[in-house]
């Protein structure tokens, strides 16, 4: 089967669909990316055109294929201790203020393949104890990356940003079929849970959190979507809780309920 081409009209339909589903504004420059990723699905399904594939996923008659499309079109670049200053702030400023022994709850709202969740877990284990009273929720719109996060198994070439002492302290070396990989220690993983959450829709009942990480996802939203997403997120913060966004993101003009603590770190008044 020859490589299918996409028309401008078909690409515009996919842009509208991914915006409708996930709130993601897919730039015109992403056409090549879309063709590369979805073209494989056309071949796998024996479809002749992107128009046919669009009708399949837009109709809703194949929810699994619709989810596959979302998985393929959401970008998930991440690594351990990415934007390390945020974890330093958690360790040095947020945790010392927290009453000893009280539950401490964190939500990683765009957790991708789980490196952010397990980075937070390592910091909390250090400061509150590996058997302490703390928990982390990791969520993403992509079921594919959540599967990777739940397994907690990574190839050794994915240790970018992970201090050697943490690799030894909180990870297990893979053996036999998992040689060349490492596993996040069960003692850390038992503090974590993962679930699919679409930030562009009403949020499920997930409780309230002392800290929410919402990093490097708002760059894909327009301002109207940002306001809606942040408003939903703020409702899940405990009074005095912190919202942390990515280094290239800001809530200026997006939300005035939260008060800036320093660039990319905001706090809900107690």
pLDDT of residue 3: 66
Q: What angle do CA 113, 26, 205 make, to 5 degrees?
A: 50
CATH annotation of 8-73: 1.10.155.10
Do domains 8-73 and 85-267 share one topology? The answer is no
37 is catalytic: yes
Q: Where exactly are the structural domains of the chain?
A: 8-73, 85-267
pLDDT of residue 63: 92
Token digits of residue 4 = 């299918």
| 103 and 35 Cβ atoms separated by less than 8 Å | no
pLDDT of residue 1: 45
On the 0-12 / 13-18 / 19+ scale of CB atoms within 10 A, 138 is buried
| 119 and 144 Cβ atoms separated by less than 8 Å | no
pLDDT of residue 60: 83
> Using a CB cutoff of 8 Å and minimum separation of 24, what contacts does 231-237 make?
231/255, 232/199, 232/202, 232/203, 233/109, 233/199, 234/258, 234/268, 235/203, 236/107, 236/203, 236/206, 236/207, 236/208, 236/209, 236/212, 237/208, 237/209, 237/212, 237/268
pTM of the model: 0.89
pLDDT of residue 160: 82
Enclosing H/E stretch for 266: strand 265-267
What CATH architecture applies to the domain 85-267? Answer: 3-Layer(aba) Sandwich (3.40)
pLDDT in tens, the chain (270 residues): 456 789 999 999 999 999 999 999 998 998 998 999 999 999 999 999 999 999 999 998 899 999 999 989 987 778 999 999 999 999 999 999 999 889 999 999 999 999 999 999 999 999 999 999 999 999 999 999 999 999 999 998 888 889 999 999 999 987 777 788 999 999 999 999 999 999 999 999 999 999 999 999 998 899 999 999 999 999 999 999 999 999 999 999 999 999 999 999 999 999
Catalytic pick among 37, 66, 227, 232: 37
Token digits of residue 193 = 């849970």
Catalytic pick among 71, 140, 189, 215: 140
């Amino acid at each position: 089967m020859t490589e299918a081409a996409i028309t401008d009209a078909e690409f515009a339909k996919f842009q509208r669909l991914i915006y409708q589903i996930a709130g993601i504004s897919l730039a015109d420059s992403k056409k090549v990316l879309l063709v590369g990723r979805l073209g494989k699905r056309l071949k796998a399904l024996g479809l002749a055109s992107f128009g046919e594939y669009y009708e399949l996923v837009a109709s809703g008659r194949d929810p699994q294929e619709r989810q596959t499309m979302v998985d393929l079109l959401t970008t998930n670049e991440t690594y351990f201790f990415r934007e390390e200053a945020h974890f330093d702030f958690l360790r040095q400023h947020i945790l010392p203020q927290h009453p000893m022994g009280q539950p401490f709850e964190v939500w990683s709202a765009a957790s991708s393949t789980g490196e952010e969740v397990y980075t937070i877990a390592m910091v909390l284990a250090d400061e509150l104890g590996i058997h302490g009273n703390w928990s982390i929720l990791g969520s993403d719109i992509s079921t594919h990356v959540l599967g990777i996060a739940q397994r907690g198994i990574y190839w050794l070439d994915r240790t970018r940003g992970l201090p050697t002492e943490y690799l030894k302290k909180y990870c297990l070396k893979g053996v036999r079929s998992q040689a060349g990989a490492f596993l996040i220690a069960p003692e850390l993983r038992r503090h974590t849970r993962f679930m699919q959450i679409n930030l562009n829709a009403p949020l499920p009942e997930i409780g309230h959190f002392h800290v929410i990480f919402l990093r490097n996802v708002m760059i894909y939203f327009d301002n109207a979507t940002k306001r809606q997403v942040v408003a939903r997120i703020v409702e899940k913060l405990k009074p005095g809780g912190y919202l942390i966004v990515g280094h290239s993101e800001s809530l200026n003009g997006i939300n005035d309920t939260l008060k800036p603590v320093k660039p990319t770190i905001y706090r809900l008044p107690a």
